[in-house]
Amino acid sequence: MKTTFQIDVVLFDRLDRHLFPGDGDEHGALILAGVVETAHERRFLAREIVLARDGLDFVSGKFGYRALPADFVARWSNYCVRENLCYFNVHCHGGRDSVGFSDVDLQSHQRGYPALVDIANGGPIGALVFADNAVAGEIWTREGTDELDSLAVIGLNRRRLYSEPPSIPGFCDEMYHRQSLMFGEIGQHYLANTKVGIIGLGGVGSLVNEYLVRLGVGEIVGVDFDRMERSNRSRVVGSGAADCCDWLRKSRYKWLRQVGERCAARKVSVAERVARAANPRVRFRGIVGDVTYLSDAQELRDVDFLFLCADSMQSRLVFNALVHQYLIPGAQIGSRVQVDKRSGALTNVFSVARLVLPFRGGGCLLCNELIPAAKLQDEALSPEERSRQRYVDDEEVASPSVITLNALGAAQATNDFLFHVLGLFDLSRAKSSYLMHYSRERIWRAAECRAEDSCLHCGTTAASVFARGDRASLPCKN
């Protein structure tokens, strides 16, 4: 099982400045983390850092050069128990691209960590040691110890740290030759080792799926509960007449039409077929489900990037929670065609690609009022309740949807994913803003993102689920 760590760029920069102020000396800190555990990976999620003050909280050691005093360790390990977080002791060494614990470090773990594991009700707890561009870690539980495989810094760019430079295979499939001329074999290797989630495999999600597979993404988890209909065929890439059971659905007999509805292909099946045709080596897992159910949402806890291509507010809330609770960078994509109700004339046509990154100001959909509380309530009603309680709003009608509008948002968001994963953004110029394309004006516009300290997803209060991982609940149905 892999053991990894994720930390957002705002916390990491603070930690980095503290550990490496330019004096060449050793400095200390704590990371207090949530955790997500799946069959394949244990991933720690940095929620808070505590900077140990030199001479007060980080002092000359009895056994080694520096140490954290016992009362400091006791205070913060007890805090972690109360807050249900994992305690990590952090210090720095010299060097750049490789790092490891010294014998003195390992001996101090042996002396102190069995007691810390007990205080933490079995852990996990641990220690990290950083060099300028490297990190090593040791994780302790009652069952034993594990080494950290890698740490990811989540910002506009994704940065990876290892205990020593990883070996990258020198071979790149000719299928990816032209794109690897842009980002090299190492980029292709990173894509092949990336796991991506897609919520919704309709008009937008089917395009994202195709783009990801052709880029060479190694693993895709797609979630959709829906079946194909004839009216989807103009937008769902890779779909055909047989997927919609058109000949049955056009029958004059009701029972045959019903058979046609039941036999129509699932959208996840169409996506899987498209994925395997484009890249037979892709690991595609289609989930016939709905992320508003806990068991389906939990399948996305360990992805490296998450696309929201569904248009319900309930899915939007679950997506936003997954991004912030599990530190998963994501993108929400959509398009809207607004029509004057009286004249039928087009008033506004736009596509959106909203990057949602798990740090303050990273585009939280709650902070930016993109998940209306009233809509959430409305979507929870049964059809009977909704009909009874509707008194002002119009009857529900299908919204206009066009493949080219979907493609604008899907291409922008998937390109953002590519540049994020491979660290290609120019950080002196790029911002993590929302992008909107206004088709009638032929123009892209950016919208700055707000952040609220009290936000229950991205905020810093005790009530926030930020980076709590499995130790907080998702806003899903039981």
Partner 1 sequence: MTSHSIKADVSRAIDEIRSAFPGVMLDIEPDTEGGAFVKAHEFDLGSQFEPARSWSAFRITFQYPFADIYPHFFVSTLRRKDGKPLGEGFHPNNQWQHPGGNEPATMVSRRSNRRDAATETAALKLAKVLDWIRSR
Residues lying near partner 1 in the complex (CB under 8 A)? 314, 317, 366, 369, 371-374, 376-377, 380, 382, 384-385, 388-389, 391, 454-456, 459, 461, 463, 473, 475-478
**How distant, in Å, are the alpha carbons of 270, 283, 326, 475 from that of 298?**
23, 18, 11, 11
Query: Distance between CA 237 and CA 210 in Å, rounded?
Result: 8
Q: Which is nearer to partner 1, 251 or 312 (CB)?
A: 312
Residue 379 beta carbon to partner 1: minimum distance, rounded to whole angstroms: 9
Residue 387 beta carbon to partner 1: minimum distance, rounded to whole angstroms: 10
Strands 86-92 and 125-131: parallel
Query: Distance between CA 470 and CA 478 in Å, rounded?
Result: 15
Query: Distance between CA 408 and CA 413 in Å, rounded?
Result: 9
Angle formed by the axes of helices 267-278 and 203-215, to 10°? 20
Q: Which is nearer to partner 1, 370 or 402 (CB)?
A: 370
Backbone angles phi, psi at 292, to 5 degrees: -80, -10
Q: Which is nearer to partner 1, 220 or 458 (CB)?
A: 458
Residue 458 beta carbon to partner 1: minimum distance, rounded to whole angstroms: 12
Of 408, 413, 410, the closest CA to residue 356 belongs to: 413
Query: Distance between CA 106 and CA 274 in Å, rounded?
Result: 50
Residue 470 beta carbon to partner 1: minimum distance, rounded to whole angstroms: 15
Residue 318 beta carbon to partner 1: minimum distance, rounded to whole angstroms: 9
Q: Which is nearer to partner 1, 161 or 317 (CB)?
A: 317
Residues pairing with 352 in the sheet: 334, 436
Q: Which is nearer to partner 1, 174 or 393 (CB)?
A: 393
ω into 124 cis (within 30 of 0): yes
Q: Is 68:77 a contact under the CB 8 Å cutoff?
A: no
Residue 328 beta carbon to partner 1: minimum distance, rounded to whole angstroms: 19
Q: Which is nearer to partner 1, 200 or 459 (CB)?
A: 459
Residue 456 beta carbon to partner 1: minimum distance, rounded to whole angstroms: 5
Q: Which is nearer to partner 1, 389 or 404 (CB)?
A: 389
Backbone angles phi, psi at 52, to 5 degrees: -80, 125
The tokens of 96 are what? 């750049």
Q: Which is nearer to partner 1, 146 or 379 (CB)?
A: 379
Structure-derived torsion over alpha carbons of residues 207, 208, 210, 211, reported in degrees to the nearest 10 = 120
Residue 326 beta carbon to partner 1: minimum distance, rounded to whole angstroms: 17
Residue 457 beta carbon to partner 1: minimum distance, rounded to whole angstroms: 9
Residue 317 beta carbon to partner 1: minimum distance, rounded to whole angstroms: 6
Q: Which is nearer to partner 1, 374 or 397 (CB)?
A: 374
Residue 429 beta carbon to partner 1: minimum distance, rounded to whole angstroms: 33
Check the CA dihedral 365-302-235-477 and report its sign: negative
Q: Which is nearer to partner 1, 314 or 401 (CB)?
A: 314
Q: Which is nearer to partner 1, 267 or 316 (CB)?
A: 316
Residue 305 beta carbon to partner 1: minimum distance, rounded to whole angstroms: 23
Q: Which is nearer to partner 1, 18 or 360 (CB)?
A: 360
Q: Is 33:88 a contact under the CB 8 Å cutoff?
A: yes
